[in-house]
C-alpha cells in the first residue's frame, strides 16, 4: 500500500545517512524516501532502488527550500564541520520551515542539555534553534558510536597498546546501524510536538574492558594505557590529527571518564525493538575488515 508520507534524510551519503535510508526503506516504500546529498552523481548505487535522490548542500541555503519541497518528515543529520555547523544547521532549519516540513528530526548528542562534552554546545544550540522554529520535532540524542573506538584498533595492534583518556568511565556505546534504526523508527513513528530520545547502548564498557576484548579476540596482550587529557591530546597531535579534532577527542574521553557517555535507560533498544549490538560481535566484524597485516 502506498504511504502518503514523504521522508527526507540530509547527509544521506554519509556513514550514518546511508544506513538511515536503508532502515527507512525496510519500513516504508522506497519511493517515499528522498535522499538529500551534496553530489547526486557521486551517490549512484548507494541507496535502495526507488529512493529519490536530490541535491542539498548545507552551505548553499538558497537551494535547500526547493530540495525540501514536498517532504513531510525530515531528518537533519548533524554536520561534522566543527566550527561551522551551527550556521549550516540554521540554513536547514530555516529552509525546513519555509518548505512547510511537517516534522524535523535531528541527530544530537546524549544528554545534550546537560552534557559537559565540548561538542555538546553546538548540539544544544541547534536543539534550541529547532524548538524556537515552531516545527514539531524529534531530538535523537545519540550516545557514542562503537565505531569511534573500533576505528583505532589497527593502530592499537600496530603499537601493542590502546591509548585513551577515559579512565574507568563506562561508555554506553552502540553501532551506527543501531542509531540508524532508531532514526528510522522515530522518523516514521514519532507523534506530538516535541519528542526527545536519549539513546545509548544496552552494554556499557570501559576502555580497559575494550582492550581486554581486543586482546581476547586477537590472542595478543593489548593493554589500555590511560592518559591525562593533555597527554592524550598531545599523543593525538603527534599521530597527525588536526588541532581542533585532537582537542575534541581528548575532551570527549576526559568527560567519558566522568560519566558523560553513560546511560542505562535502554531507550534505544526499546525504540528499535531489539537489543543493541554488543561490543564483541562489532569488534569481530571490524577485525575481519582489517588488512591481514594488522
| Angle separating helix axes 279-289 and 207-218, nearest 10 degrees | 50
Q: What is the pLDDT of residues 182-227, one digit of tens each?
A: 999 999 999 999 999 999 999 999 999 999 999 999 999 999 999 9
Predicted confidence (pLDDT) at residue 1 exceeds the cutoff of 80: no
| Angle separating helix axes 176-189 and 17-25, nearest 10 degrees | 50
Q: Please, how many CA atoms are within 13 Å of residue 154, restricted to the half-sphere of its CB?
A: 12
* C-beta of residue 76 within 8 angstroms of C-beta of residue 93: yes
CATH code reported for the domain at 7-143+176-199+265-272: 3.40.50.720
List, in order, residues 6 or more apart from 63 with CB less than 8 Å away: 55, 56, 57
Q: What is the pLDDT of residues 105-157, one digit of tens each?
A: 999 999 999 999 999 999 999 999 999 999 999 999 999 999 999 999 999 99
Could you state, in order of their start, the residue ranges of all structural domains in the chain? 7-143+176-199+265-272
Residues 214 and 223: their CA atoms lie apart, in Å, by: 9
User: Which whole number is the average pLDDT over 54-60?
Assistant: 95
C-alpha distances (whole Å) from 260 to each of 131, 159, 176, 195 are 24, 28, 19, 21
Confidence of residue 272 (pLDDT cuts 50, 70, 90): very high
User: Which whole number is the average pLDDT over 251-257?
Assistant: 97
Residues 121 and 86: their CA atoms lie apart, in Å, by: 10
Beta bridge partners of 54: 36
Question: Can you tell me whether residue 218 is helix, strand or coil?
Answer: helix
User: Which whole number is the average pLDDT over 71-100?
Assistant: 94
Look at residue 4 in the predicted model and tell me its pLDDT. Answer: 85
pTM to 2 decimals?
Answer: 0.95
Predicted confidence (pLDDT) at residue 293 exceeds the cutoff of 90: no
Q: Tell me the pLDDT of the chain averaged across its residues.
A: 95
Question: Can you tell me whether residue 39 is helix, strand or coil?
Answer: coil
Maximum Cα interatomic distance, the chain, rounded to a whole number of Å: 58
Confidence of residue 292 (pLDDT cuts 50, 70, 90): low
With pLDDT > 70 as the criterion, what percentage of the chain qualifies?
A: 98
Alpha carbon distance, N-terminus to C-terminus of the chain: 49
Look at residue 77 in the predicted model and tell me its pLDDT. Answer: 97
What would the grid cell of residue 100 be? Answer: 512547510
Question: Can you tell me whether residue 148 is helix, strand or coil?
Answer: helix
Q: Exposed/middle/buried for 117, CB within 10 Å: 0-12, 13-18, 19+? A: buried
Residues 108 and 112: their CA atoms lie apart, in Å, by: 7
List, in order, residues 6 or more apart from 279 with CB less than 8 Å away: 146, 173, 203, 205, 209, 210, 213
Look at residue 269 in the predicted model and tell me its pLDDT. Answer: 98
Query: What is the β-pairing status of strands 33-37 and 194-199?
Result: unpaired
Residues 80 and 137: their CA atoms lie apart, in Å, by: 21
Amino acid at each position: 500500500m502506498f504511504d502518503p508520507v514523504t521522508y527526507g534524510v540530509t547527509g544521506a551519503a554519509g556513514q550514518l545517512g546511508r544506513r538511515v535510508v536503508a532502515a527507512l526503506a525496510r519500513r516504508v516504500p522506497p519511493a517515499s524516501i528522498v535522499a538529500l546529498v551534496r553530489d547526486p552523481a557521486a551517490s549512484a548505487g548507494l541507496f535502495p532502488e526507488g529512493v529519490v535522490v536530490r541535491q542539498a548542500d548545507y552551505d548553499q541555503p538558497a537551494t535547500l527550500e526547493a530540495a525540501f519541497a514536498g517532504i513531510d518528515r525530515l531528518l537533519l543529520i548533524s554536520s561534522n564541520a566543527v566550527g561551522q555547523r551551527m550556521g549550516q544547521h540554521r540554513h536547514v532549519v530555516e529552509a525546513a520551515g519555509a518548505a512547510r516540513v511537517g516534522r524535523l528530526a535531528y541527530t544530537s548528542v546524549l544528554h545534550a542539555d546537560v552534557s559537559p562534552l565540548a561538542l555538546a554546545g553546538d548540539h544544544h544550540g541547534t536543539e534550541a534553534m529547532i524548538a524556537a522554529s515552531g516545527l514539531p520535532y524529534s531530538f535523537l540524542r545519540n550516545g557514542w558510536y562503537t565505531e569511534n573506538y573500533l576505528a583505532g584498533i589497527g593502530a592499537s595492534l600496530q603499537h601493542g597498546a590502546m591509548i585513551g583518556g577515559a579512565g574507568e568511565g563506562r561508555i554506553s556505546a552502540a553501532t551506527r546501524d543501531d542509531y540508524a534504526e532508531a532514526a528510522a523508527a522515530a522518523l516514521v513513528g514519532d507523534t506530538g510536538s516535541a519528542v526527545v530520545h536519549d539513546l545509548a547502548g544496552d552494554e556499557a564498557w570501559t576502555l580497559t574492558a575494550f582492550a581486554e576484548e581486543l586482546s581476547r579476540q586477537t590472542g595478543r596482550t593489548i593493554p589500555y594505557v590511560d592518559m591525562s587529557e593533555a597527554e592524550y591530546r598531545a599523543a593525538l597531535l603527534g599521530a597527525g590529527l588536526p588541532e581542533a579534532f585532537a582537542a575534541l577527542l581528548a575532551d570527549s574521553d576526559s568527560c567519558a571518564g566522568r560519566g558523560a557517555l553513560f546511560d542505562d535507560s535502554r531507550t534505544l533498544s526499546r525504540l528499535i525493538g531489539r537489543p543493541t549490538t554488543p561490543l564483541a560481535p562489532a569488534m569481530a566484524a571490524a577485525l575481519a575488515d582489517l588488512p591481514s597485516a594488522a
